[in-house]
Structure 1
Amino acid sequence: MDKPAEMFDRDFEWAELTRFATLPGPQAALGVVSGRRRQGKTFLLDAVTRAAGGFMFTATETTEADSLREFGEALARHRGQPTPFRFAHWDEAVRELLRIADTGAPAVAVIDEFPFLAKASPALPSVIQRALDPGAQHTNTPVRLLLCGSALSFMGKLLSGNAPLRGRAGLELVVPTLDFRSAADFWQITDPRTALLTNAVVGGTPAYRKEFTQSDAPAGPDDFDDWVVRAVLNPARPLFREARYLLAEEPELHDIALYHSVLAAIAAGNAARGGIADHLGRKSTDLAHPLSVLQDVGMITHEADAFRRNRSAYRIAEPLLTFYHAVMRPAWGDLERPGRAPAVWRRAQATFRSKVVGPRFEQICREWARWHAAPDTHGGHVTRVAAGTVNDPAARTSHEVDVAVHGESDDGRAALLAIGEAKWGDVMGLGHLDRLRHIRTLLTRTGTATATTRLHCFSGTGFTDELRRLAQDDPTIQLVDPARLYGGE
Structure 2
Amino acid sequence: MIGRKQELALLEKLYNSPSFQFLIMYGRRRVGKTTILQKFAQSHDCIFFPAQEKNDVLNLEDFSQTVQEHYTGDYLAPFPNWEKALAFIEKQSRNDKRTVLIIDEFPFLASQNPSIKSIFQHAIDHSWQNKNIFLILCGSSVSFMINEVMGYKSPLYGRITAHLEVKPFDYLESAEFFPNYSQEEKLLAYGILGGIPRYLKAFNPAQDITTNIAEHILSENAYLHDEPQLLLRMELREPGIYNSILEAIANGANKISTIADRIHEDRSKCTKYLQVLQNIRLVKKIIPCGQPKTSKKGIYVIADHYYRFWYRYTFSQKKLLLSLRRRKSRPRNHGRHI
When normalised by structure 1's length, the TM-score is 0.63
Structure 2 residue aligned with 1:314: 300
Structure 1 residue 183: deviation in Å?
0.9
Q: d(CA) in 2 for partners of 1:330 and 1:190?
A: 29
Q: d(CA) in 1 for partners of 2:216 and 2:75?
A: 46
Native 8 Å contact 2:21 2:135 kept in 1: yes
Structure 2 residue aligned with 1:75: 67
Structure 2 residue aligned with 1:239: 224
- CA 235–98 in structure 1, closer or farther in 2 if over 3 Å, else same: farther
Structure 1 residue 161: deviation in Å?
2.2
Structure 2 residue aligned with 1:149: 139
Is residue 275 of structure 1 aligned with residue 258 of structure 2? yes
- CA 338–269 in structure 1, closer or farther in 2 if over 3 Å, else same: closer
Is residue 115 of structure 1 aligned with residue 107 of structure 2? yes
Native 8 Å contact 2:95 2:132 kept in 1: no
- CA 229–341 in structure 1, closer or farther in 2 if over 3 Å, else same: farther
Structure 2 residue aligned with 1:167: 158
**Counterparts in 2 of 1:306-385, with a 5 A limit?**
306=289, 309=292, 310=295, 311-333=297-319, 335=321, 339=325
- CA 151–341 in structure 1, closer or farther in 2 if over 3 Å, else same: farther
- CA 21–307 in structure 1, closer or farther in 2 if over 3 Å, else same: closer
Q: Where in structure 2 are there 5+ consecutive unaligned residues? A: 330-338
* Range moving further from structure 2, 66-75 or 183-192: 183-192
**Counterparts in 2 of 1:378-393, with a 5 A limit?**
none
Residue 160 of structure 1 aligns with an amino acid whose one-letter code is G
Larger helix fraction of residues: 2
- CA 176–100 in structure 1, closer or farther in 2 if over 3 Å, else same: farther
Q: d(CA) in 2 for partners of 1:105 and 1:315?
A: 48
Is residue 35 of structure 1 aligned with residue 32 of structure 2? no
Report SS of the residue matched to 1:238.
Answer: coil
Q: d(CA) in 1 for partners of 2:64 and 2:142?
A: 27
Structure 1 residue corresponding to 2:177, chosen from 186, 208, 213: 186
Q: d(CA) in 2 for partners of 1:242 and 1:57?
A: 26
Instruction: Provide Cα deviations, 1:32-89, integer angstroms capped at 9, x if missing partner.
Output: 1111111221111112122111110000001011110111111111112433342232
Q: d(CA) in 1 for partners of 2:328 and 2:163?
A: 45
Query: RMSD of the alignment, in Å?
Result: 2.3
- CA 69–206 in structure 1, closer or farther in 2 if over 3 Å, else same: same
- CA 59–124 in structure 1, closer or farther in 2 if over 3 Å, else same: same
Native 8 Å contact 2:32 2:198 kept in 1: yes
Structure 2 residue aligned with 1:262: 245
Structure 1 residue 256: deviation in Å?
1.1
- CA 137–45 in structure 1, closer or farther in 2 if over 3 Å, else same: closer
Q: d(CA) in 2 for partners of 1:328 and 1:51?
A: 42
Q: Where in structure 1 are there 5+ consecutive unaligned residues? A: 1-6, 344-489
Structure 1 residue aligned with 2:334: none
Structure 1 residue aligned with 2:335: none
Q: Highest relative contact order (Cα 8 Å, sep 6+), 1 or 2?
A: 2
Residue 298 of structure 2 aligns with an amino acid whose one-letter code is S
Native 8 Å contact 1:235 1:336 kept in 2: no
> Could you tell me the percent identity over the aligned residues?
28
Is residue 23 of structure 1 aligned with residue 17 of structure 2? yes
Residue 315 of structure 1 aligns with an amino acid whose one-letter code is V
When normalised by structure 2's length, the TM-score is 0.89
Structure 1 residue corresponding to 2:47, chosen from 55, 66, 76: 55
Structure 2 residue corresponding to 1:84, chosen from 76, 92, 101: 76
Instruction: Provide Cα deviations, 1:230-266, integer angstroms capped at 9, x if missing partner.
Output: 121111221112111221222xx21111111111111
Native 8 Å contact 2:247 2:316 kept in 1: no
The alignment covers a number of residue pairs equal to: 325
Is residue 227 of structure 1 aligned with residue 221 of structure 2? no
Q: d(CA) in 2 for partners of 1:342 and 1:276?
A: 35
Native 8 Å contact 2:90 2:128 kept in 1: no
Instruction: Provide Cα deviations, 1:88-125, integer angstroms capped at 9, x if missing partner.
Output: 32222222233443363212110001110010111111
Q: d(CA) in 2 for partners of 1:73 and 1:295?
A: 38
- CA 155–137 in structure 1, closer or farther in 2 if over 3 Å, else same: closer
Q: d(CA) in 1 for partners of 2:168 and 2:107?
A: 21
Q: d(CA) in 1 for partners of 2:2 and 2:303?
A: 22
Structure 1 residue 193: deviation in Å?
2.0
Structure 1 residue 227: deviation in Å?
2.0
Structure 1 residue 336: deviation in Å?
5.8
Structure 1 residue 332: deviation in Å?
2.7
Structure 1 residue 337: deviation in Å?
8.0
Report SS of the residue matched to 2:299.
Answer: strand
Is residue 13 of structure 1 aligned with residue 13 of structure 2? no
Structure 1 residue 334: deviation in Å?
5.5
Native 8 Å contact 2:110 2:116 kept in 1: yes
Report SS of the residue matched to 1:55.
Answer: strand
Native 8 Å contact 2:33 2:166 kept in 1: yes
Larger radius of gyration: 1
Which 4+ residue blocks in structure 1 deviate beyond 6 angstroms? 340-343
Native 8 Å contact 1:104 1:141 kept in 2: no
Instruction: Provide Cα deviations, 1:331-376, integer angstroms capped at 9, x if missing partner.
Output: 3355468956999xxxxxxxxxxxxxxxxxxxxxxxxxxxxxxxxx
